[in-house]
Amino acid sequence: MKKRIIFFLCVCCFLGYGQANDKAAIDLWNWKLELPSGYKASDWKLSNYQNDRFAAPFFYYDGLKGALVMKAYPAKGTSTAKYTRNTLREQMQPGSNDVNWTMKEGGILEVELDVEEISNSESGQFHRTILVQVDGRTTAKQTKQLGLTKPASLPMLKIYWQDGYLKVVRKVLKDEGTAGDALLDKKSWKEDKGIHSKRRIGNDKVKIRLELKRGKILVQIDDERPIVYRDLSVAQWYFENYFTVGNYLQSKEENCFSTVNYYKIEVVH
């Protein structure tokens, strides 16, 4: 029987006007938060985010919407991220980044969300934001084997909101004949051209389901025909993995912004 690790946004609003300060039973125990300012919180620290002055105005529960709100815009702080990051990182062991899962073990992620608002770039086009990622990193054994001082990491798969559509982008081998330690070298991988959702999502609610297991990746967007990857790039992925969800705005332009509402986040291993 599969071990089930479920992180579900269980919303229990009290009677009233449904304002953002309504108490809600939101289980984020197995997630780590990183805000645009660089502020980070996990397990017990994140459990009190509603009253944490560092979380607002970027991260809060809105009882009226019944959603976890994640806002992104450039902010002063200690962030070393290339762009404006507001993300939740899966932690199978609360408080630790060192316990992750492999493709052999597999994982399923289901989210329901909408992109409420997003700014335009200087060229007049919408900015884009990453909503979901499957991130990879070397295990402790692989890190030592490669002579590295810290784990090497790279995203296996990303789902962007781009010009109103969802775009699925993944890492593929530059040379399908790559083998051994070279599979753990970032230079052995490149991004593919990506696949867009059939429907223009815009600001509508959308459901995304990812299912990963040895040799196969399935991406389900609403009721569209699933996107299935089953090739050597999937079969030769030897990194360990973790899910990331949130609002990773791909810009640091002045006055850029985006707001993403999450109504459901559920993970099964």
**What is the DSSP-derived secondary structure letter of residue 225?**
P
Q: How many residues does the chain have?
A: 269
Q: Average pLDDT of 253-266?
A: 95
Chain centroid to CA 217: 16
Beta bridge partners of 33: 41, 88
Q: Please report the pLDDT score of residue 2 as a whole number.
A: 52
pLDDT tens digits for range 49-85: 988 888 989 999 999 999 999 999 999 999 989 999 9
| 16 φψ region: left (φ > 0), alpha (ψ -120 to 50), beta (else) | left
pLDDT tens digits for range 20-59: 444 444 579 999 999 999 999 999 889 889 888 889 899 9
Integer CA distances (angstroms), 16 to 20, 22, 27, in order: 11, 8, 22
Q: Report d(CA 209, CA 11) in Å as an integer.
A: 20
Q: Report d(CA 192, CA 189) in Å as an integer.
A: 9
Q: Is 49 helix (H, G, I), strand (E, B) or coil?
A: helix
Q: Report d(CA 214, CA 177) in Å as an integer.
A: 19
**What is the DSSP-derived secondary structure letter of residue 127?**
P
Q: Report d(CA 217, CA 109) in Å as an integer.
A: 12
Q: Is 140 helix (H, G, I), strand (E, B) or coil?
A: helix
Q: Please report the pLDDT score of residue 131 as a whole number.
A: 98
- Domains of the chain, CATH where assigned: 31-268 (2.60.120.200)
Q: Which helix (H) or strand (E) holds 210?
A: strand 206-213
